Amino acid sequence: MAKKKTLKQQDFQKKKLKVGKPRQQASNVTDTSFSARMISLPNQTRLKTAGGNENGAAAAGKLENDVIKRLSLCKHHSAITRKETLVHFKTLIPKVIRTKCITPMLNSCLPMICDEDAQVRAALLELFEELGQHDQNVLRLHSRALVLFINSSMTHIVPAIQRDSGKFLRCVLRYCGDELVRNSWAKLLKGLFGVLGWSVETSKNAKKSVSIGVKTSSVVSMNSAKAKKAQQSNIETLLEFVKCGCIEQTSDDGHEGVAAHSAYGKYLIPAAPQPFQHLKLFVRELKKNQTGSGSKLEEVLNVTLQDFAARREVLLAYFYDPMVLNASGIIVGGGECGRAASVLKDTLEGIKQLQEAQQGA
Amino acid sequence: MVRQSRAAILPTNVILLQNLVKRDPLSYREEFLQQYSHYESLRDIFMLKALEAQTTGDTNTKQFVELVGFVSQVCSCYPEETANFPNELKQLILDYHRSLPFEVREKIVSSLTMLRNKGVISAETLIQTMFPLLVAYSSQSNSLGHNSHAKEIRKLVYSTIISLLKSCNIGSKNQKLNKSTQAICFNLLDQPDSQGVWAARLTRELWRRGIWDDSRAVEIMTQAALNDDVKIAYSGALFFLGADKEREENFEEKSDDEDVDMEGLKHKMQINKKSGKRGKKLEAALKSVKKKSAAPKTPQGYLNFSAIHLLRDPQGFADKLFSKQLSSKNNNKFNLDQKIALMQLLSRLIGTHKLTVLGIYSYFLKYLTPKQRDVTKILAAAAQSSHDMVPPETIADLVRKIADEFVSDGVASEVAAAGLNTIREICSRAPLAIDETLLQDLTEYKGSKAKGVSMAAKGLVALYREVAPDMLKRKDRGKVASMELQESAREGRVSKRPQFGVENTTQGIAGIELLAQWKKKQQDADGQDVDENDDQNWEVEEEDNEEEDIEGEWVTVESDKEYDVDMSDSDDEKEKPKEEEEKIDPETAFRDLASSRVLTPADFAKLQELKTEQGVARLMGVRNEETVDSDRLVGPLKHRKATKDERIASIMEGREGREKFASRKSKRDEQRSTTNREKERKKNFVMMIHKRSVKGKQKMSLRDRQKVLRQHITKQKKKGH
């Protein structure tokens, strides 16, 4: 019986092959041919083959390859994978810290300061700790990028990332505090103010804005336990930062010897990487053509402040009043935060006296 | 409830924040400042990484793009805080565009456009930012990275510039901006590498849209046409040849893009059920129609001068064009099409402005052979470039060459027709370019058997009957011309052959003697003066619109007035003796008419009509930018090989209203449920075999069986219908 072929049957019919004719294309075939002069695969960095003769060198090369292979995992969509990668890096650090792969590793790890997952951030913090313990100079070398990313996280729109930025700053401060306070004193102070929800302009610009000088987010979530804890840690970070930048830790004994040492020091090879960073020879910055239009604080933001006195001056000029005001507010609130704030306030007063004494002298 | 309200005021993403900030900028100042500083930090990160290749789709990139958009959206709310923002964007895109990812570049360009639209930055700033980008992304020699997306960026930047200039010139022209942009175009043309192509493209586009219509824009294109680069020179030439036509087409298209069928709508309103919605539809349509009719078709202050008329120094331009591009030693860089375009431009310039570029006529000689590709275009150019101010000897060479090469018995009839037609065109512009013997030789072709050739020869004869009948043979002169000649010979006058250097200038109003004559005739016919104070004479064309309303009305005829109905009009004329029409001298006519009365538009319309009637317009030198159509030079063709498109069109024409000759089988199998008949037919054979209806078929006679089969076949055939 000649039954009519249904559509379904037609689909499964075998196409007859004919001699001298190309095979018929299926109806759903996708054209994958392309014409390009060049194919670029930017995310596939060329992997170097380890061709070392020595066993140790080969092992090091193998490790390096391993690190480079895993770099792309830093951008993995799954937070767990990212965290695992960071944990793995941490275990490798003692072996690879002197190799070339540390810079690409840091470059791909740094953006994770702004990662949305709290566990990833915690792992990254541990990684930085490990780095700092093994070789401070690595962090010093990358201090500029660190500052930029920490600053970026300080201004992040997600409150959790913002709160955690203090932890990173604290960690980095421990190992390369000098670079931080020299190169980005005002910038980081301003960032910390932002994290704490304090306004830099206390009463000067009151006429301009109706807002109460604090962000709505900080007002709404002010009283949660998490926020309290974060506030406390951030205040402590601020305290450490201020101490690091303003109070010289020189013991006054043997003044002559120290002077002599410093005199030698000029002619020795400097211990820290990038000793002339403050000259900004290789740094790109946009020029501002409208100088004087903004407030003076904006001018100070990108200036490096090499000595303690200058930093104290900037602190007193722009940050002292709002800091004292806000700290006293928190002291009234009491608790752990209040305790930290009171320490901060005392330190600030000490700094003020020190500066006045120096200016008097 | 609480959660909802909290979500509404807590900005967790930038878009939400943008909405909040726009509603209430003052309250959300702190949030804005936070985001602004975030933008700043990201910007610094980008600059730090500027040397490294940024991969697209990076979270940082996405955030940065988002923030740039955000800040440029709301920066008009905080002018003080963001004073430096536009400048930063400008620096970023200008200095670091190579290292920025494509998304960021795109976003910055669109943000700058937005800032311009909001009035934060001036149009000049935007132009100054865009042009360097256009240049940077257009050069091939410049080694751009493989991921630069140069084409997209170019497109974006180009469209930005065009739309900017368009929006700035709406209403009144922004002369300052136009001038500065034109200055940039001039500079681009001066540059050694082929950047000038952008200047040419931009100018052409803006000319097409009627945004630039001044002599400066034309000057840019003259510079382009004289450029060393082949592409630029060619685009300059094409501009002069085609831009005005393009512009007209552009405006025509704009005017008739969507026509609402008002009549149809009105009719529908009468027939259909009346509803509010329909009424509103009609109103809207009415409004749009009114708006369209009220709006001018062309932008305000638009000058309808063609580019060739706006040239500042036509003679200099033509000289340079000829000596630098066409006849110089390195003219080998142009291919034939480009050379022809240059020839066409030159000849049009020469014809329009009556310039003297003597070299071009001998230049044409080289190309005037029947085997030359596109020779009709060159013939047309040659015809166009001749006019009465060129020494006749120069053009005579040209005519001689055409006559020698094209017009002989040994060539195809189309070739001879093309040659004769070209000679006619040349001679209509420069009548002295041909000598008597050659002319008389050529007119012999009027007896040719080929239709095109004889038509062309007759055209030549007709031309010389008007211009210089005494150059023709006696039998060719025609009645009127020979009578005139005889008369002048009788009176001893010198025949009025055209002479070189004597211009046929008109003073006063051209052809006014015709009008005077006509008036006089009318007066005689009517027996009374035509009412001069009639207002209707001043309105020529506008009456048509109002007529519709009046049409159905009755004319009130008052009984107590006397109506002068002209019954005897026709009789009068017959009785009147045909008086000798006296010739009226143009000067006296002008004096009489112009001094006695004011000419109304109706008069001018009549004048125009009379002039065309007499066919004098062609001979009076009023021809302006009239082009010679190269296709018409060949004459009417009997058997021309049709192109494929034409053939297909004619095939399709034949098929109109006819169904396809094909099996109808495919049409039968449309989706439907099976009929009873089909079910019957599909029924299992074994179940049917013992039925009488089946068994009976076996017993049918052969004849009956055949009959049934026939019926079945015809039925099957008809089934598809």
Mutate to test the interface with B, among A44, A215, A221 (most CBs of B within 10 A): A215
CB A196 within 8 A of CB A222: no
**What's the DSSP call for residue A169?**
H
pLDDT at B226: 92
Let me know: does B251 contact B297? Beta carbons within 8 Å: yes
Token pair in block for residue A288: 């501002």
Q: What pLDDT was estimated at residue A335?
A: 81
Residue B5 — very low, low, confident or very high, per pLDDT cuts 50/70/90?
Answer: very low
- What distance, in Å, lies between the first and last C-alpha atoms of chain B? 68
What pLDDT score was predicted for residue B52? 56
Q: Sorting pLDDT into bands at 50, 70 and 90, what band is B608?
A: confident
Mean pLDDT over B643-667 rounds to: 78
Annotate B626-648 with b (16+ C-beta within 10 A) or e (fewer).
Answer: ebbebeebbbeeeeeeeeeeeee
Decide which of A222 and A17 is more confident.
A17
Put simply, the answer to whether B50 touches A284 (Cβ < 8 Å) is yes
Exposure string for B465-501, b = 16+ CB within 10 A, e = fewer:
bbbbbbbbeeebbbeebbebeeeeeeeeeeeeeeeee
Size of interface A-B (CB pairs under 8 A): 107
Instruction: Give dist(CA B646, CA B652) in Å, integer.
Output: 10
Could you tell me the pLDDT band of residue B551, with boundaries at 50, 70 and 90?
Answer: very low
Task: Collect all residues of chain B within an 8 Å Cβ-Cβ radius of residue A213.
Answer: 30
Chain B residues close to A211, C-beta within 8 Å: 26-30
With a CB cutoff of 8 Å and minimum separation 6, the contacts of A79 are A115, A116, A117, A119, A120
For A238-280, write each residue's pLDDT tens digit: 888 888 888 876 544 444 444 455 566 667 777 666 677 767 7
Min mean pLDDT across A273-287, A315-329, B237-251, B634-648 is at A273-287
Query: Which residues in A lie closer than 8 A to residue B28 (C-beta atoms)?
Result: 211, 216
Share of chain B above pLDDT 70, in %: 76
Give me the residue label for tokens 């002369």: B175
pLDDT higher than threshold 70 for residue B70: yes
CB contact under 8 A, B35 and A157: yes
Q: What pLDDT score was predicted for residue B147?
A: 58
- Mean pLDDT computed over B383-406: 92
A184: Cα separation from own chain's centroid: 13
Mark yes or no for CB contact B45/A152 under 8 Å: yes
Q: What is the chain B residue with the closest CA to A284?
A: B47
A199 CA: distance to closest CA in chain B (Å): 8
pLDDT, residue B668, reads: 64
Contacts of A144 in chain B (CB under 8 A): 48
| pLDDT at B548 > cutoff 80 | no
Distance from CA of A143 to the nearest CA of B (A): 12
Closest Cβ opposite residue B29 in set A38, A155, A211: A211
Handedness of CA A277, A241, A354, A186 (dihedral sign): positive
The DSSP output letter for B355 is -
pLDDT at B344: 93
> Model confidence over B669-692: pLDDT tens digits?
667 788 888 888 888 989 888 888
Q: What angle separates helix A143-154 from helix A185-196, to the nearest 10 degrees?
A: 30
What is the chain B residue with the closest CA to A156? B38
- Mean pLDDT to the nearest integer, A32-50: 66
Residue B143 sits at the chain A interface (C-beta within 8 Å): no
Cα distance from N-terminal residue to C-terminal residue, chain A: 117
Q: Do B26 and A107 touch (CB under 8 A)?
A: no
Q: Say if the Cβ atoms of A210 and B10 lie within 8 Å.
A: no
Find the mean pLDDT for residues B434-440. 92
Question: Which range has the top average pLDDT, A92-96, A224-228, B619-623?
Answer: A92-96
Q: Check CB contact under 8 Å for A220 and B6.
A: yes
Predicted local confidence at residue A209, as pLDDT: 45
Q: What is the pLDDT of residue B662?
A: 66
Calpha distance A105→B376 (Å, rounded): 72
Burial code (b: 16+ CB inside 10 Å, e: under 16) for B250-281 equals ebeeeeeeeeeeeeeeeeeeeeeeeeeeeeee
Question: Cβ contacts (< 8 Å) between A294 and chain B: which residues?
Answer: 80, 83-84
Per-residue pLDDT reduced to its tens digit, B124-133 = 889 989 988 8
Q: To the nearest whole angstrom, how far is the Cα of A356 from the nearest Cα of chain B? A: 32
Q: Provide the pLDDT for residue B21.
A: 87
Mean pLDDT of chain B: 79
As a whole-number percent, the residues of chain B with pLDDT over 90 amount to 28
Q: What is the mean pLDDT of residues A203-215?
A: 47
**Looking at the predicted structure, is the pLDDT value of residue A359 above 70?**
yes
pTM: 0.68
pLDDT (0 to 100) of residue B532: 47
CA dist B164 and B187 (Å) reads 20
Q: Quick check: B641 contacting A, CB < 8 Å?
A: no
Q: Which of B6, B12, B29 sits opposite A157 (nearest CB)?
A: B12
Give me the pLDDT at residue B607, please. 76
Residues of B in contact with A194 (CB under 8 A): 34, 37
User: Does residue B638 carry a pLDDT above 70?
Assistant: no
Q: How confident is the model at residue A3 (pLDDT cuts 50, 70, 90)?
A: low
In this structure, of A213-217, B71-75, B248-252, the range with the lowest mean pLDDT score is A213-217
pLDDT of A75 higher than 90: no
Residues B127-160 have pLDDT tens digits of 989 988 888 887 654 555 555 678 888 899 999 9
What pLDDT score does B291 carry? Answer: 75
B323 touches chain A (CB under 8 A): no
Task: Give the residue-averaged pLDDT of B181-186.
Answer: 92
Shortest distance, CA A121 to any CA of chain B (angstroms): 16
Mean pLDDT value across residues B440-459:
92
DSSP letter assigned to residue B564: -
Residue B63 has pLDDT above 90, yes or no: no
Q: Do B44 and A216 touch (CB under 8 A)?
A: no
Inter-residue contact B57 to B8 (CB < 8 Å): no
Could you tell me if B392 and B430 are in contact, meaning their C-beta atoms sit under 8 angstroms apart?
Answer: yes
- Let me know: does A114 contact A153? Beta carbons within 8 Å: yes
Instruction: Give B508-532 pLDDT, tens digit per residue.
Output: 666 677 777 777 777 776 655 444 4
Is there a contact between B42 and A152 if contact means CB atoms under 8 Å apart?
A: yes
B44 touches A at CB < 8 Å: yes
Residues 46 through 85 of chain B touching chain A, CB cutoff 8 Å: 47-48, 50, 52-53, 55, 58-60, 80, 83-84
Q: Could you give all domains of chain B from N- to C-terminal order, each with its CATH number?
A: 314-491 (1.25.10)
Residue-level pLDDT at A80? 92
Nearest to A211 among B27, B52, B80 (CB): B27
Q: Does residue B19 sit at the A interface (CB-CB below 8 Å)?
A: no
Pairwise CA distance, residues A306 & A300, whole Å: 13
**Maximum average pLDDT range among A199-203, A335-339, B534-538:** A335-339
Question: B211 versus B501: which is more confidently predicted?
Answer: B211
Nearest to A45 by CA among B61, B112, B55: B55
Query: Is residue A77 classed as helix, strand or coil in its secondary structure?
Result: coil
Angle in degrees, CA B58, A156, A177, rounded to 5: 100
Question: Is B674 within 8 Å of chain A by CB?
Answer: no
The confidence score (pLDDT) of residue B565 equals: 47
DSSP SS3 for B254: helix
> Which secondary structure element, helix H or strand E, spans residue B397, and what is its range?
helix B392-406
Residues of A contacting chain B (CB within 8 angstroms): 1, 38, 40, 42-43, 75, 107, 111, 114, 144-145, 148-149, 151-152, 154-158, 190-191, 194, 199, 208-211, 213-217, 220, 284-290, 293-294
The pLDDT of residue A196 is: 84
Stretch B595-623: mean pLDDT = 64
Q: Would you call B53 and A288 a contact, using CB atoms and an 8 Å cutoff?
A: no
User: What pLDDT score was predicted for residue B186?
Assistant: 92
Nearest to B30 among A156, A213, A220 (CB): A213
pLDDT-derived band at B407 (thresholds 50, 70, 90) equals very high
Lowest mean pLDDT segment, chosen from A63-67, A89-93, B218-222, B308-312: A63-67
- Give pLDDT, residue B704: 92
Q: What is the pLDDT of residues A106-155, one digit of tens each?
A: 888 888 888 889 999 999 999 999 999 988 888 888 888 888 889 889 88
Burial of B349 (0-12, 13-18, 19+ CB in 10 A): buried
Render pLDDT for B261-305 as a digit per residue (tens, 0 to 9): 777 777 777 777 777 887 888 888 888 877 766 665 555 556 677
Q: Distance (Å, rounded) from C-alpha A323 to C-alpha A198?
A: 8
pLDDT grade, residue B82 (50/70/90)? confident
Four-point Cα dihedral A110, A113, A116, A120, nearest 10 = 80
Query: For chain A, what are the domain ranges?
Result: 60-141, 177-248+294-361
Q: How far does the CA of residue B48 sit from the closest CA of chain A (Å)?
A: 7
Position of tokens 């008949």? Answer: B677
